[in-house]
Structure 1
Amino acid sequence: MISPIAVYFERCEPNWSIPPSLTKNHILLLVTDGSFVYTVDGDELVLHKGDVVYVPEGTMRSGHNGPRDPHHMYAAHFRLEGDDPLIPLLRDHQYRYVQPFNGDYLKNRFSLLTQHWLRKPAYYETIYHSILLEMLCIVNGEVDSRKVPTKSYAIVTQIQDYIMNHYRENIAIAALAELVQRTPNYISTVFRQVTGQTITEYSQQIRIAAACNFLINSQMTVGEISDYLGFCEQSYFNKVFKKVTGVPPSAYLKEKTKVWRT
């Protein structure tokens, strides 16, 4: 079980710094804007928008930006309970630095994670565990994908870019296969090998990440969001939303309204 310690979005002003120290918890960082220097176990990393770093507990780290260089980032601090490390990333006790394919999706998931942390609704610890484990699995998949042949990597990138730009449409596997000039079976196999997800799962996650953003930042109803994102029926949208986030959109919208009124 992943036990939360803190989750936050930080706007770091120029001359921000973290002195060298051992981490007391596991940390997952996502840079959303700007750049800064982050030193982990003696390795100096220059992090930019979209970069992700996982730092295990007990790792020496420090960081700083420049006198004119603010940056923004999400951070999750957590501990592991139990003997099962869940995924290799949590077992190897090594820091990982990746530039993920689906940075926008991770940003949306981090936003959702932060909201649940701040609201602390019913079962938030289980929701926290599920969302953060998903993000850690994506990072672990990025680490594993470095072993994948370059051609396969390029094909998956092209498919993901297309889905990101057309997620409101009903995208057929056959159309994606034609896009990259491969067979449907081939792209389905390669996509899962590289990302650890099916094409359908990835597409659904992108659409639901967009739905969460609309629920948070717009006055659209659940039905309007369902129609806008191209779902044939609201009942199916509700089913997919709950599958991805763990809660139905009506409950998610209710929590958002409560926050606005407090």
Structure 2
Amino acid sequence: MNNINDLFFHIHYCNGKKFKDSGQFTPKIARTLQHHELIFVCNGIGSFKIKNKKYPVKKGMLLYLSPGIPYSIELDTTVPAGFLTVHFSYIHVSFDEGKWAICNEARILSHKSAQELKDAYLVEEQFQKLVDCWNEKLPGYEFMARTMLQQLIITIVQNLNKHPQNFAMSIKVEKIIQYMHQHINGKITLPELSERLQMTPAYMSRTFKETTGYTIIEYFNKLKIDKAKELLIEGNKKIKEVSQELGFTDEFYFSRMFKKAEGITPSQFYSRIVHGH
């Protein structure tokens, strides 16, 4: 999946329908969207067809529809049905070396077309909050709804990572991040990490990137930069002192890395944030 932090969402509309009685809903829908849609099945049974594949529809299912792909849903009208839906588009926004870059949907979200969520109450709860926010339309609802959609996708990813096939890997990624925090003032190496976790460097690196959106070194440097900002703001330390404390032997390399991440040098950051000029 794209790094969720780099995505800006636009919601076209949300909907929530829960029918207490059977026969109150359209038994079959067939269409092609020009945007993305997430559907959570609160209740009901039936079938979902997309890309010549057919999936069963039942409570706890999550359906993901990407633009331009025909699909159909057929429901059993003898069983009460209920759905939560959100229709949206997104763009990728990046900030690198002080410059913003915007690109259109070059890649789709990597959710599967249909999957059954285990212990899906948190996903349903977050989805319901999004739909309620959209329907109430209180002041600022569009901004709040975008934030809730981002949180919903994070909740979905967390749910999927709890499945047996992913849980062990999720724990190992957390251990890598804990190890980073413990060695924030020094260096880490891929061979050292792979030996500690009993994984090959290539598999470990690929899994970490898929889980976090960053390479291991990028993530470690990100933690260092965040720590550097904390030391500059709260520690009242000189640039050289911060650089040395975080394990950089070259103050100028630290400054270049800081500027690449923040768009300004550490000294400019200190002047603007601490002194306001």
User: What is the TM-score when the length of structure 1 is the normalising length?
Assistant: 0.50
Going by fraction, where is helix more abundant, 1 or 2?
A: 1
TM, length-normalised to structure 2: 0.47
